[in-house]
A and B are shown apart, each in its own frame.
Chain A
Amino acid sequence: MSRARMIALLVIKDWQVYQKQLAGYVAGMVLALGLIGTGKPWASSAGALLLLVLQVVVGSFAIQSSLLTERKQQTLAFIMSLPVSPMDVYWGKLLANLAIYMLPFSLVTGGMVAMIMLTAIPDGSLVWMLLTAMFLFASFSASLCFAIVVESEGWNTFMMLALMTLLGPFMYLVAQLDGIAPFIRGDRVVWSPAALGVLAAECAAIAIAIGLTSWLQKRKTSFL
């Protein structure tokens, strides 16, 4: 069996194990989008908050269940009995978690884009919303890579909580930037140098997290 096929099987395994919970999150997100779609202020606010909370929780859930809980259940001995290398397992975990996260993430981000572009909400806030979404994705990527490399549950919980805590300050600080603040309440979508700079930093954070983890994993010659 080819290496790509083995990695695909590992991804499918994780998907099948966690799809029931993921389906629950997706159902919650459909409900949240429906609440936003009512157009009533209280329901829209509740829906938007529910979307944000579910998106943060689904990331933590994926990492917690597929990496930390599996370690607690000591599944390593079983994995070692399979014809796979440490790098295969690494790619399997990385891709499975990204797939589990990307399904609700694309639903939420798409819903938010639609809401901004098609309702009375100023189109200018699109840039700020997308930068916030990218921050969520970068946080998830960093937490995931950290969980792959560091086995301590305590440090992993700390990492996830720390990154979640940064979300509020990030949203506030980005909204204050000179290249973003003047356009948030406007009708034009403006990708100013400041906005592009933040976006580039987020992309770089994702690339560095994945690149560094891949490099560290490549150096591993055995599972232990």
Chain B
Amino acid sequence: MPDARRIHAMDNLRALAMLAGVIFHAALAYSPMVHGIWPVADRQSSNAIDAIAWWLHMFRMPLFFVVAGFFAAMLVARRGLWNMFRSRLRRILVPLVVGLPIVWSSTYWLTVLAARTVRYPSPMLAWIRRYASNHGSVPFIPGLAHLWFLAYLMLFTILVWVVSTMETGRWHARMKTRKASWLIAWLLPLVLSLALGATSQPFPAPESLLPQLWAVIFFGAYFGLGYHLYLYRAFIDDIKTLAPWLFIAAMVAYVVLHGSWSHADMHDDAIKAALESCVGCWLTLCCLVAGWTWLDISNRLLRWLADASYWVYLVHLPILLGVQYGLLDLEWHWSLKLVVSVLLTLLVCLASYSLLVARTGLRRWVGGGQPSIGKQGRNVLSASPI
């Protein structure tokens, strides 16, 4: 009989990873590193916000894919491969196909409006304004936007089937030891650095409509780690004693890495990729240990937030852009703008979840919940998106 208990630690980690995404995207408006290319880049920027935002970036999506792999394994174990496919089609492919045109049209419309009306445009917005005045319209470049993770989750769902046909059980059994867990913790960054060596620094969002090989390897490795974690829960106990050392090593590596981004004379991309891999991997492992140690708790509010997090992440970007375009001309301090933009965005996202999703049929597609087994093996909750 499969374990039907709801795993609160992973639920809460998923919610935190998604909410961290909202904060990260909001912080980009005040990041000197992307000032030239981010459409809502403010006149004010801060090196401090850069350091914090990119630190968050190192592990928030890796953590998200670990959680996704964990829940994929849970779905396969509880419902079988075929039902996992059906669930992923409903909860990943449908939101992607429906959501993408909405994200495209809303962000395009907001950008056109901002390009016309904002007094202090960002460099990107100023370029768009010039382009529109020369060519008569604002250019539209199709991409996956922040919904790229859905496309990769679908791809990994296919790869779950591919791997499941390879009968890897005996090989995987060898990984269920403390020694193997330690090896994974120390050596996984090596594999990841090969992937990150093939892209720019810090690693970008793979928004292209074609799969990016580096992203398939990089995020696929984290997805695989999550899958392994479901099949071998003792992994967390195995690496618990390592966690403080991993955290210290990751922080030292991040200080060096962040310094290398600010100094144009450091050109060795292989070293930067290795540092980036170490930071991301070890912080992700620390988050898992911390989550299983301190976040395996639940109450109505936490559960509601965990359930809402998927919807919040899906809809947050156009709302955030709208808010931050509106803040561009204000003379407020950047920290106040950041707090206001995050709070307003979360308020609108959570209110829309409460009104449009929580008590309606949409919950089946974009609401929360983990797969569980009800009476006579029937599913009583919709599967979680990740």
Could you tell me which A residues sit within 8 Å of B by CB distance?
19-20, 22-24, 26-27, 30-31, 33-38, 111, 114-115, 118-119
> In the complex, are the beta carbons of B210 and A23 less than 8 A apart?
no
In whole angstroms, how far apart are the Cα atoms of A18 and B180 in the complex?
A: 33
Q: Name the contact of A26 in the complex, choosing from B158, B211, B213, B216 (C-beta under 8 A).
A: B158
State whether A36 touches B155 (Cβ < 8 A). no
A118 and B159 within 8 A (CB): no
- A23 CA to B162 CA, complexed, in Å: 5
B118 contacts partner chain A, Cβ-Cβ < 8 Å? no
- Chain A residues contacting B216 (CB-CB under 8 Å) are 30, 34
Distance between Cα atoms of A26 and B155 in the complex (Å)? 11
Contact of A118 among B155, B158, B210 (CB under 8 A): B210
Could you tell me if A37 and B159 are in contact, using CB atoms closer than 8 angstroms? no
In the complex, residue of chain A having the shortest beta-carbon distance to the beta carbon of B206: A37
Type the 1/0 row for B64-85, where 1 means its CB is closer than 8 Å to any CB of A.
Answer: 0000000000000000000000
Contacts of A38 in B (CB 8 A): 198, 212-213
Determine chain B's interface SS by DSSP, over half rule: loop
| B97 lies within 8 A of chain A by Cβ | no
Q: Using Cβ atoms and an 8 Å threshold, which residues of chain A touch B155?
A: 30
Assess the B162–A37 pair: CB atoms within 8 A: no
- On chain B, the residues within 8 Å of A20 by CB distance are 165-166
Contact present for A33 and B210 (CB under 8 Å): yes
B133-161 interface (Cβ within 8 A of A): 142, 155, 158-159, 161
Contacts of B162 on A, CB cut-off 8 Å? 23-24, 26-27
B380 interface residue, CB < 8 Å from A?
Answer: no
Establish whether residues A23 and B213, one from each chain, have CB atoms under 8 Å apart when the complex forms. Answer: no
A66–B209 Cα distance when bound, in Å, is: 35
Within 8 A of A (CB), among B188-219: 198, 208-213, 216
Report the bound CA distance from A26 to B164 in whole Å: 13
Known: A30-B216, A118-B142. A19 touches B165 (CB 8 A): yes
A31, A34, A114, A115: the one contacting B212 at CB < 8 Å is A34
Chain B proximity of A58: nearest CB distance (Å): 14
Query: Please, how many angstroms separate the alpha-carbon atoms of A79 and B338 in the complex?
Result: 70
Contact present for A111 and B210 (CB under 8 Å): yes
Closest A residue to B208 by beta carbon equals A37
- Give Cα A196 to B216, complex, Å: 37
A contact residues around B209 at 8 Å (CB): 114, 118
| A26 / chain B contacts, CB cutoff of 8 Å | 158, 162
A20 to B163, CA, bound (A): 9
B219 to chain A, nearest CB (A): 12
Chain A: minimal CB distance from B301 (Å): 41
When the two chains form their complex, are residues A36 and B210 in contact, meaning their CB atoms are under 8 A apart?
A: yes
CB distance from A31 to the nearest CB of B (A): 8
Question: Which single member of A22, A27, A35, A119 contacts B159 (CB below 8 Å)?
Answer: A27
Are A34 and B211 also in contact (CB < 8 A) when A23-B161, A26-B158 are? yes
Give CA–CA (A33, B209) in the complex, Å: 11
B158 touches A115 (CB 8 A): no
For A37, give its contact among B142, B158, B166, B211 (CB under 8 Å): B211
Residue in A27, A35, A114, A118 whose CB lies within 8 Å of B213: A35
Q: Told that A20-B166, A23-B161, A30-B216 touch, could you supply 18 new A-B pairs with CB distance under 8 A?
A: A20-B165, A22-B165, A23-B165, A30-B158, A30-B159, A30-B211, A34-B213, A35-B213, A36-B210, A37-B208, A37-B210, A37-B212, A38-B213, A114-B210, A118-B142, A118-B208, A118-B210, A119-B210
What residues of chain A lie closer than 8 Å to B212, measured between beta carbons? 34, 37-38
In the complex, residue of chain B having the shortest beta-carbon distance to the beta carbon of A33: B211
Do A115 and B159 contact each other (CB < 8 Å), given the known contacts A19-B165, A34-B216, A38-B198? no
Nearest neighbor of A20 in chain B, beta-carbon distance: B165
Interface centre among B159, B161, B166, B208 (most CB of A within 10 A): B208
User: Within the assembled complex, what's the spacing in Å between the Cα atoms of A27 and B161?
Assistant: 10
Most buried by A among B161, B210, B216: B210
The 8 closest A-B pairs by CB, nearest first: A34-B213, A37-B210, A23-B165, A23-B162, A20-B165, A114-B209, A118-B209, A27-B162
A34 to B206, CA, bound (A): 12
Minimum distance in angstroms from A107 CB to a CB of chain B? 8
A residues in contact with B211, CB < 8 Å: 30, 33-34, 37
- Known A37-B212, A38-B213, A118-B210: A23·B166 in contact at CB below 8 Å: yes
List B151-188 residues whose CB lies under 8 Å from chain A. 155, 158-159, 161-162, 165-166
